[in-house]
Structure 1
């Protein structure tokens, strides 16, 4: 193919793409990039490390525990901050000084945040005296909703899977109703809860979740809740 023909083909392809974007109203995709979420509202670097962060479904909001003194956090008591990646605004969504925060979960619209908090760092790690809290971003209200730690939430933020000593369970944050999902010692990962909270997977080596379980090894089960 001649250079002229190649140029004509490229031009035709570019024109076709431009027309398609104009007709559909679609924007050209952004190139891959990396941005740092753990910075202050003015863009200054954090002066301490964050821990396990969570991001909203649309990629705009991030909730991150941090031990950076700059935003008012303590070295051994991670605070919890929300970051709007579009505006740069940073807000506090935690219980204040004296609590260590971790494991945030965001609803799809980022209107609700669930997190685990405890008054002592070792207690938080082992889920002793630590609790699960819910934060309403619109009203700013924070309330303790359960003992234990949330591992995953439904898209609407209404239900969470809670891990505690008694086994995994599904908690409705609106009503407080808790439904057992597995036996003591069972494990449930971050993808364990169905989008509407009606089913949950768990792994267990117990012999009694279903009849005739005689293989003597850990299995994966599905608990149908409603």
Structure 2
């Protein structure tokens, strides 16, 4: 698919109502966590500081670094933790409190809105997959508009009002996959793109919900939709004419994608791409300045944070470790990651995968 895609708007009801243009310039985070200095901390712990008794994974962090959401099969993280199965937990770094969100097991890592107020994650429901939405301050929950579809790959706007996802009809597979955006304020669902296949589209929405980046997984193309301007740009691709999306920065200025063995950071405004050779991009910070990547060289650090403006690198983890999207807070201050290594922090004896946060200043 090498031509611009048109948008079709479909009005649909959703189960509950939950609560301008993006700039290419970096944005500052508000209300950061109190400065506790540089270092690394394990955050998948119980209220009394005890280490988790089972594996934790799939962490995402808010731009201000205060809230971290992840999944875990541990049974001792909260007083109401279930006795079996993965559940989603939210860690508040300011209060050092951990809260369980929902009873259903996630089938993909949870995501959190930029303001830390909403969390979403796909879960199995009967014969399909739905996306559960949770409001942190009230504990309210709802499922998105996926009654006739299986929905996954969620991405939330900064205020949690807009949620992008991929959907697929489980009754008529010939429908193929759709890239959609739900708006809980207007009770509408916008179909941004439709494909005749089931390859992943990995939608990634900007903080103000104006821009949506996604891929045609079959054609190996990446596109960016300006929902305000009503235009779609792309395909965005590397020299190999193939691309796989990693993430759109929260301010909508940069799109990270993979092409061949390299990573590219595409500037949405200018159309120029910055090459980061021989690495696998993992995430980008909300301002579009800091790239988290995994070097292909197995002899080096497993995760590295690059300042794209200065070209300087900071080691996130020397031990075997991994991370997902939304793993970097604004201005590269904090990075969340998972690792089963037992020498990242003292007293790690549980022989399980834990969630850590690396603070650089």
Q: What TM-score, normalized to structure 1?
A: 0.66
Q: Judge conservation of contact 1:79–1:97 (CA < 8 Å) in 2.
A: no
Partner of 1:219: 354
Q: Judge conservation of contact 1:61–1:84 (CA < 8 Å) in 2.
A: yes
Matches within 5 A, 1:181-196: 181-196=316-331
Q: SS of 1:206's equivalent?
A: coil
Q: Judge conservation of contact 1:50–1:64 (CA < 8 Å) in 2.
A: no
Map Cα deviations across residues 56-95 of structure 1 (whole Å, 9 max, x no partner): 111111111115xxxxxxx4x4111111112321112523
Partner of 1:57: 207
Verify: 1:161 aligned to 2:292, yes or no.
yes
Uncovered stretches (5+) of structure 1, i.e. residues with no partner: 1-28, 39-44, 68-74, 119-129
Uncovered stretches (5+) of structure 2, i.e. residues with no partner: 1-183
Q: Judge conservation of contact 1:93–1:135 (CA < 8 Å) in 2.
A: no
Partner of 1:131: 262
Partner of 1:197: 332
Separation in 2, partners of 1:96, 1:146: 12
Residues 224 and 97 from structure 1, CA distance in 2 versus in 1: closer, same or farther, beyond 3 angstroms? closer
Per-residue deviation, 1:206:
1.4
Structure ranking higher on relative contact order (CA contacts 8 Å, 6+ apart): 2
Per-residue deviation, 1:96:
5.6
Per-residue deviation, 1:221:
2.0
Q: 1:170 aligns with which of 300, 305, 309?
A: 305
Q: SS of 1:35's equivalent?
A: strand
Map Cα deviations across residues 2-27 of structure 1 (whole Å, 9 max, x no partner): xxxxxxxxxxxxxxxxxxxxxxxxxx
Q: Judge conservation of contact 2:223–2:235 (CA < 8 Å) in 1.
A: yes
Q: Judge conservation of contact 2:338–2:355 (CA < 8 Å) in 1.
A: yes
Map Cα deviations across residues 9-49 of structure 1 (whole Å, 9 max, x no partner): xxxxxxxxxxxxxxxxxxxx9421111111xxxxxx65566
Verify: 1:142 aligned to 2:273, yes or no.
yes
Separation in 2, partners of 1:149, 1:78: 16
Matches within 5 A, 1:88-103: 88-92=230-234, 94-95=236-237, 98-103=240-245
Separation in 2, partners of 1:203, 1:136: 29
CA RMSD of aligned residues (A): 2.5
Structure ID, larger Rg? 1
Q: Which has the higher helix share?
A: 1
Q: Which has the higher strand share?
A: 2
Partner of 1:36: 191
Partner of 2:226: 84
Q: Judge conservation of contact 1:183–1:204 (CA < 8 Å) in 2.
A: no
Per-residue deviation, 1:103:
2.5
Q: Judge conservation of contact 2:306–2:313 (CA < 8 Å) in 1.
A: yes
Residues 186 and 96 from structure 1, CA distance in 2 versus in 1: closer, same or farther, beyond 3 angstroms? closer
Q: Judge conservation of contact 1:64–1:104 (CA < 8 Å) in 2.
A: no
Q: Judge conservation of contact 2:205–2:250 (CA < 8 Å) in 1.
A: no
Residues 95 and 190 from structure 1, CA distance in 2 versus in 1: closer, same or farther, beyond 3 angstroms? closer
**Corresponding residue pairs, total:** 173
Per-residue deviation, 1:172:
1.2
Q: SS of 1:220's equivalent?
A: strand
